[in-house]
Amino acid sequence: MRVLLIAHTHIERDIPGYVSHAVASTEPWVFETHADELVEQGGRLCYLSWNRPNPATATNKGYVANIIEKGHFSVLEHASATFYIDGVTRNFTHELIRHRHLSFSEVSQRYVDAGAFEFVEHPGLAPVSDPVRYWMQEAVENAFDAYGTLVDDLNEQGYLRKEARQAARHVLPGGTETKILVTGNLRAWRDVLRKRLELDANGEPLADLEFYQVAREILIELKRIAPNAFQDFEVPA
């Protein structure tokens, strides 16, 4: 599994007039991260509250904390982050795309031969015994062999590569590796993480374990680029 943050919100601070508009000339202000800064700009614009009269919300951290506490999440939608994720399974991405407020681009099994990908073992299979593991690996190899045989047979019958692959892929396991590009605004990512990092009464993940592990890596990166927007989230051990 690999989770890479490849793009995120950047403010063009050199635009003439931006600093004088965002910061009251009578009160110095330290710029925060671009994403957190943009969230505050959205909120302050609504009320033209550039002078920061309230000490509790005078800092970016305090201001964003108040937004989170009040549930005024719309201003979090101005900032976004894009992740490239690979070494994960089709089963995982089938769950990921249920978060419809995110945007996705995933490798196509119709156009790309499955021979370019491997089987990704689910973390929940780690404790299986050696005999069962051997049987599992054999089953996976048989599935990929069947896929290749089906593609070859359909090609020989005149099917185009796309047509052959879209039919043959139905024998592939859900643990087949995939690669996906995912973009979401900070409000959307907060919703994903709130659901996928939730623990039960015994401290165990309620989400699928693979998704939980990916969500943890995403949170680490989001806390780096927008620590105040995710100040109420703790990275699991």
| Domain carrying residue 140 | 80-199
Q: Is residue 100 part of a domain?
A: yes
Domains of the chain: total? 1
Q: Is residue 125 part of a domain?
A: yes
Q: Is residue 15 part of a domain?
A: no
Q: Would the pTM of this model clear 0.85, i.e. be above it?
A: yes
Confidence of residue 29 (pLDDT cuts 50, 70, 90): low
Q: Would you call 13 a catalytic residue per the annotation?
A: no
β-bridge partners, 184: 81
Token pair listed for 29: 């202000």
User: What pLDDT is attached to residue 25?
Assistant: 46
Phi and psi angles of residue 122, each rounded to the nearest 5 degrees, phi first: -70, 140
Does position 30 have pLDDT exceeding 70, yes or no? no
Using one digit for the tens of pLDDT, what is the confidence trace for 191-223?
Answer: 999 999 999 999 999 999 999 999 999 999 999
Higher pLDDT among residues 182 and 41, named by residue = 182
Q: Is residue 210 part of a domain?
A: no
Buried b / exposed e along 7-40 (16+ C-beta atoms within 10 A)? ebbebeeeeeeeeeebbeeeeebeebbbbbbbbb
Q: Is residue 86 part of a domain?
A: yes
Least confident of 12-21, 118-127, 144-153: 12-21
Q: Is residue 122 part of a domain?
A: yes
Marked catalytic residue, from 90, 196, 216, 224: 196
Q: Is residue 43 part of a domain?
A: no
Q: Is residue 66 part of a domain?
A: no
Find the Cα–Cα–Cα–Cα dihedral 60, 61, 64, 66, rounded to 10°: -120
Using one digit for the tens of pLDDT, what is the confidence trace for 112-125?
Answer: 999 889 999 999 99
User: What pLDDT is attached to residue 49?
Assistant: 84
Q: What is the CATH number for 178?
A: 3.30.1360.170
